[in-house]
Amino acid sequence: MTELPDLNDVDRFIPAKFRRMVSGHEPEGGVEGTDWLRDLPRLVSECASEWDLEPTGAVLHGMCAVVIPCRHDGDSVMLKVTWPHPEAAHEHLALRAWDGDGAVRLVAADPSRWAMLLEALDPERPLADVDVDESNRVIGDLLHHLDRPAFPQLVTLSTECTRWAERMRVEGPRALPRRMAERAAAIFRELGSADDIDARLVNSDLHDENVLAGDRAPWLAIDPKPVAGVPEFAIAPLMWNRLEEAIAAPSARNHLRRRLEIACEAGGFSEELARDWTFARCALNAVWENERPDDADRDWISHMVTVCKAMQD
């Protein structure tokens, strides 16, 4: 039988892998990773007391958060406590705006502790376990359901594009063929200055590892990274997740283009815009990876170049 965590002494139940991932994280406008880990048992204990929680399962985790299955007022819920970083700052606001339509439902939030109480989904049934074509259809449909007017607190895509275009201009040629870097910079400049660029609430990191099965809906998004942008910007993660299947396909280009077409058709989005955004985002991924000082993953950079080529006519 799995030993349940004591929410007043959760420190010894924090998974070792999670400690290794978060320990030493440089502060991103918040707290250094090791310091936050030291404080995490207190944060969990305070949330447990405030929300009257009873643990029902082992501590789970992602890259930057722990998740503890609990009972709350007779219902199954998940307590999520996140290491403070900018991408997660408005997660609770996005979930509140969606109110369970296409995404996990927010039960309660404590932004001061970077904590949320969420409806319970099934962590053993991610969308990644289904056929990739069906996965992309589901995600396109979810992006359609998640489409809402943007709210003022969000980071805007126009601001990010200005920064990314300059980064591509300076750093792009060091990671990519020059013409590819120049095209990515041009896309960020041109699409980033469109009149409606900041109009919609967009989950910029929706892929099939961030979609779980639920009781009230077949599939629901989790762990959103919300921005004020356009839905086509959110298609790109479908191209760099499950990349091994694209590489194994007889034609990587045809395989990746089919993914994009399926998602855009399901969501009612522009394939042309989705291709351009995907090209630029994958080029930027290559630049970010190339900037790692000693251990840049050259295979990953090569994969990003493969996706970029697939997005060109």
State the catalytic residues: 205
Helix (H) or strand (E) holding 79: strand 75-82
Q: Which residues contact 296 (CB under 8 A, 6 or more apart)?
A: 289, 290
C-alpha 155/C-alpha 90 separation (Å) is: 9
β-bridge mates for residue 108, sequence order: 117
Residue with tokens 């959760």: 10
Tokens found for residue 149: 């007017």
β-bridge mates for residue 158, sequence order: none
C-alpha 186, offset from chain centre:
25
C-alpha 47/C-alpha 283 separation (Å) is: 41
User: With left for phi above 0 and alpha for psi between -120 and 50, is residue 218 left, alpha or beta?
Assistant: alpha
Tokens found for residue 229: 């942008």
